[in-house]
Amino acid sequence: MNAARLEAFSDGVIAIVITIMVLEFKTPHGDDLKSLIPLAPAFLSYVLSFIYVGIYWNNHHHLMHTCKTVTGAILWANLHLLFWLSLIPFTTGWMGESHFAVLPTGLYGFILFMAAIAYGILQYLVLSPQGKESPVRQSIGNDWKGKLSPLFYLIAILCTGWHESISISIYAAVALLWLIPDRRIEKVLDN
Q: Is 113 a residue that touches its own copies (CB under 8 A)? A: no
Rounded-to-integer distance, Cα 180 and Cα 55, Å: 9
With respect to its own copies, which residue has the nearer C-beta, 7 or 132?
7
Main-chain dihedrals φ then ψ at residue 2, nearest 5 degrees: -100, 160
Q: Do residues 91 and 108 touch, judged by C-beta distance below 8 A?
A: yes
Listed ranges 80-88, 125-133, 154-162, 167-175: which one lies at the site for its own copies (CB under 8 A): 80-88
Torsion, Cα 59 62 67 71, to 10 degrees, reads 20
Rounded-to-integer distance, Cα 112 and Cα 174, Å: 10
Listed ranges 79-87, 119-127, 129-137, 138-146: which one lies at the site for its own copies (CB under 8 A): 79-87
Rounded-to-integer distance, Cα 18 and Cα 28, Å: 21
**Up-side HSE of residue 164: CA atoms within 13 Å toward CB?**
15
Listed ranges 96-104, 122-130, 144-152, 169-177: which one lies at the site for its own copies (CB under 8 A): 96-104
**Binding its own copies by CB under 8 A: which of 66, 77, 89, 125?**
89
Main-chain dihedrals φ then ψ at residue 131, nearest 5 degrees: 80, 150
Burial class for 69, CB neighbours closer than 10 Å (0-12, 13-18, 19+) = exposed
With respect to its own copies, which residue has the nearer C-beta, 1 or 151?
1
With respect to its own copies, which residue has the nearer C-beta, 97 or 152?
97
Q: Is 110 a residue that touches its own copies (CB under 8 A)? A: no
What residues make contact with its own copies under the rule CB under 8 A? 1, 5, 7-9, 11-20, 22-25, 27-28, 31-33, 36, 47, 50, 54, 57-58, 61-62, 65, 72, 75-76, 79, 82-83, 86-87, 89-90, 93-94, 97-98, 101-104, 107, 179-181, 183, 186
